[in-house]
Amino acid sequence: MNQTEHNKKLFIETVGCQMNVLDSELVVAALRQDGYELTDNHKLADTILFNTCSVRERAEEKIYSQLGRFKYSKQTRPNLVIGVMGCMAQKDQKLIFQRAPHVDLVVGTGQLAEIPRLVGEVRNNRDRQLAVSLGRRDGSRTEVSQSFQSYDPLRDPEMRPSPYQAYVRIMIGCDKFCTYCVVPMTRGPEQSRPPSEIYREVVALKDQGVQEITLLGQTVNSYKHTENGKQSRLADLLELIHDVDGIKRIKFVTSYPKDMTVDLLQALRDLPKVAHYLHVPLQHGCDEMLKRMKRGYTVADYREMMARIREIVPGCSISSDFIVGFCGETEQAHQKSMELVRECRFKNSFIFKYSERSGTRAAANFPDDVPDEVKKRRNNEMLDLQNAISAEDNADFIGREVEVLV
Ligand code: SAH
Ligand code: SF4
Ligand code: F3S
């Protein structure tokens, strides 16, 4: 084979949140239009992509160690193209080439549309390619926003794990700047997609046989878009999509506690296709910690929100995320988080040990002072508590009849 001939087989590894799952689906669909075929065996592939996450250090370390495994592959497979895309690409940029010199391609979350062209470029010229967006302080808001392009091309039904379920992005980015979090840097400014575009995508998905739609956004209920002089919020969007015949169920993740408005909850109550499920992370049960995290609400605000949900949508399932071992977390503060887990009786909680991320305000301002063994113990304690609550809750379903989508 000469340099440009290759078998067009693509292997992709995806870690991180639902946004990444969707991004991978879209990138694979675009490469398939370019003649690529997907393989689940990296040894057969001539193009290997890693869709990465930066939210915790461990997620990054895993990718770097996987990349390390391909260090010598190019000696025997000169046509191999190795690319890193997604959040770690945006965060680490050139550093990836330094840490893994055999990587050919680094593509941030805002440049995914360019991947087919960039892969071709590498293959034809053996030139390294770097495509990333501006940093949050590297230009005006408009310039930075424009450098993060929402990537939502036509959907390819064959790329979805289930033909009946699909993700639809309604917004990109985040402006909340919780002090521990890299997402505002890796995904850029908060930008909502126009309702007309979202509607068209949902109709196209319905035509492909999709019955369940999950709307995605980092703070999905902060959705706000003005089109033809009319402002739409998430409640309006739910109503719009609800009218699409053939769509049977609608969900949305992840919600931000402060934006859980009455009209959104009423939409949940009044639109039968909308699942009675909310993922609305509390993160911590102590006001001092919440303030230090800059979450923008107090425990009392969260309690009020819980009461509002339970009043308007009785029986609604609520799940949460928690961080244990955040900077300055005392045993007492941790116990307050435990109390809230007990009190709120979440359906489920995702519990994370705090991981310091460079570039965040927490990394700059507060020492990461809770020892790892303590983080581990607090994590396990909370997990045990949540598991016990979930088990009790699940036991309630024994003998009940519910509608499921198979
Ligand atoms: N946009 C979502 C969450 C995105 S990240 C939201 O605001 O809820 C998913 C979860 O990872 C967060 O809810 C948080 O619990 C956790 N997380 C984020 N940054 C973290 C860090 N530096 N260390 C540990 N956990 C973190
Ligand atoms: Fe991160 Fe906070 Fe934005 Fe969620 S709301 S993505 S935790 S900055
Ligand atoms: Fe990770 Fe990026 Fe999602 S940092 S959690 S993949 S937005």
Compute the distance between CA of residue 167 and CA of residue 50 in angstroms, rounded to an integer: 20
Looking at residues 250-274, what average pLDDT do you find? 98
Mean pLDDT of all residues belonging to the chain: 95
Residues of the chain above pLDDT 70, percent: 99
pLDDT grade, residue 4 (50/70/90)? very low
Q: Does the beta carbon of 111 sit less than 6 angstroms from any atom of ligand 1? A: no
Q: Which ligand is nearest to the CA of 253?
A: 1
Q: Does the beta carbon of 254 sit less than 6 angstroms from any atom of ligand 1? A: yes
Map tokens 């509607």 to a residue: 199
**Least confident window among 10-14, 159-163, 319-323, 388-392:** 159-163
Q: Does the beta carbon of 177 sit less than 6 angstroms from any atom of ligand 2? A: yes
By CB neighbour count within 10 A (0-12 exposed, 13-18 middle, 19+ buried), where does 124 fall? exposed
Q: Looking at the CA of residue 15, tell me the nearest atom of ligand 3.
A: 6
**Least confident window among 141-150, 151-160, 197-206:** 151-160
Looking at residues 168-181, what average pLDDT do you find? 98
**Least confident window among 82-86, 224-228, 237-241:** 224-228
Cβ-Cβ contacts under 8 Å for 340 (sequence gap 6 or more): 282, 285, 299, 302
Q: What is the pLDDT of residue 5?
A: 57
> Which domains are seen in the chain, by residue range?
5-143 (3.40.50.12160), 160-264 (3.30.750.210), 276-397 (3.30.750.200)
175, 183, 284, best to mutate for ligand 2 pocket (most atoms within 8 Å of CB): 183
pLDDT grade, residue 228 (50/70/90)? confident
Looking at residues 115-129, what average pLDDT do you find? 94
Q: Does the beta carbon of 20 sit less than 6 angstroms from any atom of ligand 3? A: yes
Termini Cα distance of the chain? 46
Closest by alpha carbon to 168, among 232, 231, 217? Answer: 217
Cβ-Cβ contacts under 8 Å for 246 (sequence gap 6 or more): 206, 211
What's the 18 CA to ligand 3 centre distance in angstroms?
Answer: 8
- 3-state SS, residue 99: helix
Looking at residues 19-38, what average pLDDT do you find? 94
What's the 55 CA to ligand 1 centre distance in angstroms?
Answer: 7
Element (H, E) at 336: helix 331-344
pLDDT, tens digit (0-9, with 9 covering 90-100), for 331-347: 999 999 999 999 999 99
Q: Looking at the CA of residue 109, tell me the nearest atom of ligand 3.
A: 2
Q: Does the beta carbon of 281 sit less than 6 angstroms from any atom of ligand 2? A: no
Nearest residue by C-alpha to atom 4 in ligand 2: 218
Looking at residues 234-246, what average pLDDT do you find? 98
Q: Which residues on adjacent β-strands are paired with residue 168?
A: 215
